[in-house]
C-alpha cells in the first residue's frame, strides 16, 4: 500500500477497533458482575451480551445500502450517535432489562459494513486484501485489549463506569470520522430482489456462515469462560488479575496467527488456511469442554482459540471483497456484517439458554458441535483466485 492508503486504512481500522473495543469490554466481566442488577438470570445475561448482535444484524444491510446511496460519512456519524446513546442508557441502568435495551441501542449503530465499504473505496484492488487483513488484525488487537482493560475498569468503576468509558470511546471514534474525506455516493441502485441475489451467491453465503459461526462461538465462550475462571480459582472473583491470564494469550495468539495470514495472502491459500483455523478452533473447544482447567491448560486452550479467531477476522472480509463488484460493496459487506452480528446474538441467546437450563460445560459442547458443522461447510468453499 502507498502512504495515503496506509493512513486511510489506519483511520478506518481505528474507528472500527475503538467501537468494537467498547462493545467487547463487557465480555470478560459481565457474566460475573451482572448479579448486581435486578431480575438477573443466566438467560438474561446471555441476552444482554448478545442483543447488540440482533440490532446490528437487522441494520447492517440498510446502513450499507444507504451509504451506497448517500455517502459513507453521514451514515458513520448517525451510527456512532446511536452507539453513544445506548452506552449512556446502559450506564444508568439498575435493572438488567435496561442493560439489554442499552446494548440493543449500541448495536443500532450498525456501521461495520459502511467502514469496510469505505475502506475498499479508497484502497486499490490489488492492495485491498492487505488493508482488510490490517483491519482484521486491529479488531483482533482491540478484542484482546478489551479482555485486559475491561476487568481493570470494572474493578475500579463498576459496570456503570465501564459503560461511561464506552460512551467516551464513541466520541473518540466520532472525532476520527471528522478527519475522513468526503466521497460522492456510489452509483444509485434499487434495493430490489435482483440486487440482493448478487450478494446471496453460494460463495458469499458460505463466507457469511463462517463469520456467523465464528461470532456465535465467541459469544458462547465468553458466557462460560469468565465464570469457569472464577470457579476453578484461576483468577479472583473480582477479576482484577485477569491480565496475567489474557496478556500471554494475546501475545502468543498474535504470533501464532502470523504464519496463517502470510500463507493465505502470499500464496493464495485462503481456503486451506480457513480449514486449518477451524480445525484449531475445534480442538480448543473440545479441550475446553473436557480438560480440567488449570492456569497452564487455560493458557494453551485460549491461545489456540484466539489464533483461529484472529486469523479468521483477517481472512474472511478479504475474501468477500475479492468476490463482489464495486457498486454493490456496501450491500455485500452489509450482508457479511449482518451474519457476523446475528451470530453474536444467537450465541448469546442460545448460550444463555443452555447455561440457564443445563450447565456451562453444555455450552462448550454446543460450540464444539457448531465447529464441526462449520468445518463441513468450509470444505466446500471454492478458492477465490481474483
- Grid cell, residue 146, equals 478489551
Greatest Cα pair distance in the chain: 57
State the Cα–Cα distance between residues 210 and 204, nearest whole angstrom.
Answer: 10
* CATH class belonging to 3-378: mainly alpha
Q: What is the residue-wise DSSP string for 341-372?
A: HHHHHHHHHHHHHHHHHS-HHHHHHHHHHHHH
Q: Which of 154-168, 181-195, 203-217, 285-299 has the lowest mean pLDDT?
A: 181-195
pLDDT tens column, 333-366: 778 878 988 998 999 999 999 999 998 899 999 9
Q: What angle do CA 213, 215, 216 make, to 5 degrees?
A: 60
112 Cβ contact partners less than 8 Å away, ≥ 6 residues apart: 16, 56, 60, 333, 337, 340, 341
- Grid cell, residue 180, equals 475522513
Query: What element of type H or E holds 5?
Result: helix 3-24
pLDDT range class, residue 128, cuts 50, 70, 90: low
Where exactly are the structural domains of the chain?
Answer: 3-378
Per-residue burial over 118-136, b if 16 or more Cβ lie within 10 Å, else e, is: bbbbbbeeeebbbbbbbbb
pLDDT at site 174? 95
pLDDT range class, residue 235, cuts 50, 70, 90: confident
pLDDT at site 90? 96
Beta carbons of 308 and 284 less than 8 angstroms apart: yes
Residue 288 reports pLDDT greater than 70? yes
Amino acid at each position: 500500500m502507498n502512504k495515503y492508503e496506509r493512513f486511510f486504512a489506519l483511520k478506518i481500522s481505528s474507528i472500527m477497533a475503538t467501537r468494537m473495543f467498547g462493545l467487547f469490554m463487557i465480555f470478560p466481566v459481565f457474566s460475573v458482575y451482572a448479579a448486581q442488577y435486578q431480575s438477573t438470570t443466566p438467560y438474561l445475561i446471555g441476552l444482554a451480551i448478545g442483543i447488540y448482535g440482533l440490532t446490528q444484524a437487522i441494520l447492517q444491510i440498510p446502513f450499507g445500502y444507504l451509504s451506497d446511496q448517500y455517502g459513507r460519512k453521514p451514515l458513520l456519524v448517525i451510527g456512532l450517535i446511536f452507539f453513544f446513546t445506548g452506552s449512556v442508557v446502559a450506564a444508568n441502568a439498575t435493572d438488567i432489562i435496561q442493560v439489554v435495551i442499552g446494548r440493543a441501542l449500541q448495536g443500532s449503530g450498525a456501521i461495520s459494513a459502511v467502514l469496510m465499504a469505505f475502506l475498499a473505496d479508497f484502497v486499490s484492488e490489488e492492495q485491498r486484501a492487505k488493508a482488510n487483513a490490517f483491519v482484521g488484525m486491529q479488531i483482533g488487537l482491540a478484542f484482546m485489549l478489551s479482555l485486559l482493560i475491561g476487568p481493570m475498569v470494572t474493578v475500579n468503576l463498576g459496570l456503570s463506569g465501564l459503560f461511561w468509558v464506552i460512551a467516551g470511546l464513541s466520541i473518540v471514534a466520532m472525532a476520527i470520522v471528522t478527519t475522513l474525506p468526503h466521497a460522492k455516493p456510489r452509483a444509485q441502485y434499487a434495493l430490489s430482489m435482483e440486487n440482493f441475489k448478487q450478494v446471496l451467491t453460494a460463495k458469499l453465503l458460505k463466507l457469511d456462515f463462517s463469520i456467523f459461526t465464528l461470532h456465535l462461538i465467541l459469544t458462547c465462550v465468553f458466557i462460560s469462560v469468565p465464570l469457569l475462571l472464577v470457579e476453578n480459582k484461576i483468577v479472583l472473583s473480582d477479576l482484577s488479575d485477569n491480565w496475567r491470564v489474557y496478556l500471554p494469550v494475546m501475545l502468543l495468539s498474535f504470533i501464532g496467527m502470523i504464519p496463517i495470514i502470510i500463507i493465505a495472502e502470499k500464496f493464495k491459500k485462503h481456503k486451506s488456511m480457513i480449514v486449518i483455523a477451524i480445525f484449531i478452533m475445534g480442538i480448543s473447544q473440545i479441550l475446553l469442554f473436557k480438560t480440567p482447567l488449570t492456569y497452564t491448560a487455560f493458557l494453551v486452550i485460549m491461545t489456540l482459540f484466539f489464533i483461529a479467531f484472529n486469523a479468521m477476522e483477517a481472512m474472511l472480509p478479504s475474501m468477500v471483497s475479492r468476490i463482489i463488484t464495486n457498486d454493490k460493496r456496501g450491500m455485500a459487506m452489509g450482508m457479511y456484517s449482518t451474519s457476523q452480528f446475528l451470530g453474536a446474538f444467537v450465541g448469546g441467546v442460545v448460550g444463555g439458554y443452555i447455561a440457564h437450563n443445563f450447565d456451562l460445560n453444555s455450552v462448550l459442547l454446543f460450540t464444539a458441535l457448531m465447529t464441526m458443522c462449520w468445518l463441513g461447510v468450509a470444505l466446500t468453499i471454492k478458492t477465490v483466485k481474483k
